[in-house]
């Protein structure tokens, strides 16, 4: 399996690949800019080249960017939607500059306007970003279903992709904590197989391009998004055993976003690799 973690870009994005190597990662996820601010200084060509060179030299097998937490392309507020759409495009441009093939984004929240209209707005923003970039694929992340957040159902994710034209550059990132909180039982092998069958039918396994590996502080079906370190939450180690041994996803990057960051990643990676044996 291609296992890794979300790593720091402190000191420069070009340092991220080595940060991942130092933690024992096979793959990394990064922020390409401050994830809690709208404005960001453009990436200099030299900075982007330094990252590309460092990544090639690292031996890592996968890399993705996590989009800003501020983006809500499902918003009914025209000003916020436009700001979110433009921020999504900026993130996609940065991926193209850095040579990073995958941009993970939260689908968005309808904020009381209803899911159907929000999904159309999200699809419009995706289409805009794809039409103005070259090669990056945008991954819609599965969500826990907290509040008016979309993406807790596979059907919602599939509908957004369809509304965006079933573009091959739109895929999915499945988050284990979010899946469990949304009601997808990953713990029992038979239940896990049922989840994968549903994903195959509704999303297509080829479109699942990344995983976020997080235990859950909250129980099955809670619709509350709270990450926990591997084996220390309600999923427990058994909630990861089937996935770690599923060869259908052996080429898909899987990255940790667990608490304690670097302090906990090395332990979590050891736990996951043990489960894969």
- Model confidence over 111-129: pLDDT tens digits? 999 999 999 999 999 999 9
The range of the structural domain enclosing residue 142 comes to 2-276
Position with higher pLDDT, 76 vs 40? 76
Return d(Cα 222, Cα 226) in angstroms, integer.
Answer: 10
Whether 1 shows a pLDDT value over 90: the answer reads: yes
Judge whether residue 263 has pLDDT over 90.
no
Q: Which residues are catalytic?
A: 36, 66, 69, 106, 141, 175, 178, 212, 225, 227, 257
Q: List, for residues 74-85, the tens digit of each pLDDT value.
A: 999 999 999 999
Q: Assess whether pLDDT exceeds 80 at residue 242.
A: yes
Q: What is the average pLDDT score of the chain?
A: 96
Question: What is the distance in angstroms between the CA of the first residue and the CA of the last residue of the chain?
Answer: 10
Indicate whether 36 pLDDT > 80.
Answer: no
Residue carrying the six token digits 């330094």: 50
pLDDT of residue 122: 98
Instruction: Quote the number of domains for the chain.
Output: 1
Q: Rounded to whole angstroms, how far apart are CA atoms 19 and 252?
A: 20
Contacts of 115 (CB under 8 A, 6+ apart): 150, 156
Residue whose structure tokens are 């989009």:
67
Q: Write down the pLDDT at residue 41.
A: 87
Q: Which helix (H) or strand (E) holds 215?
A: strand 215-216
Residues 205-241 have pLDDT tens digits of 999 999 999 999 999 999 999 999 999 999 999 999 9
162: CATH: 3.20.20.150
Work out the average pLDDT over 252-264: 91
Average pLDDT, integer, range 47-69: 97
* Model confidence at 40: pLDDT above 90: no
């Amino acid at each position: 399996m291609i296992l890794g973690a979300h790593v720091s870009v402190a000191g420069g994005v070009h340092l991220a690949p080595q940060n991942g190597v130092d933690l024992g990662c096979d793959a990394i996820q990064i922020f390409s800019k401050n994830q809690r601010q709208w404005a960001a200084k453009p990436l200099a060509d030299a900075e982007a080249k330094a990252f590309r060179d460092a990544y090639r030299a690292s031996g890592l097998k996968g890399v993705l960017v996590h989009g800003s937490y501020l983006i809500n392309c499902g918003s009914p507020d025209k000003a916020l939607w436009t700001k979110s759409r433009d921020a999504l495009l900026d993130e996609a441009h940065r991926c193209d500059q850095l040579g990073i093939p995958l941009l993970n984004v939260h689908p968005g929240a309808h904020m009381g306007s209803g899911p159907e209209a929000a999904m159309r707005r999200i699809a419009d923003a995706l289409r805009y970003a794809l039409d103005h970039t070259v090669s990056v694929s945008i991954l819609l992340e599965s969500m826990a279903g907290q509040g008016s957040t979309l993406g807790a159902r596979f059907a919602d994710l599939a509908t957004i992709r369809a509304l965006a034209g079933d573009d091959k550059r739109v895929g999915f990132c499945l988050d284990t904590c979010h899946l469990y909180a949304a009601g997808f039982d990953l713990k029992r092998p038979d239940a896990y197989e049922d989840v994968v069958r549903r994903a195959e039918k509704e999303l297509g396994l080829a479109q699942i391009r990344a995983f976020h590996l997080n235990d859950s502080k909250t129980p099955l079906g809670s619709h509350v998004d709270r990450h926990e370190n591997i084996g220390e939450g309600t999923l427990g180690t058994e909630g990861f055993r089937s996935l770690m041994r599923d060869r259908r996803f052996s080429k898909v990057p899987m990255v940790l976003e667990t608490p304690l960051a670097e302090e906990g990643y090395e332990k979590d990676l050891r736990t996951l690799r043990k489960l894969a044996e």
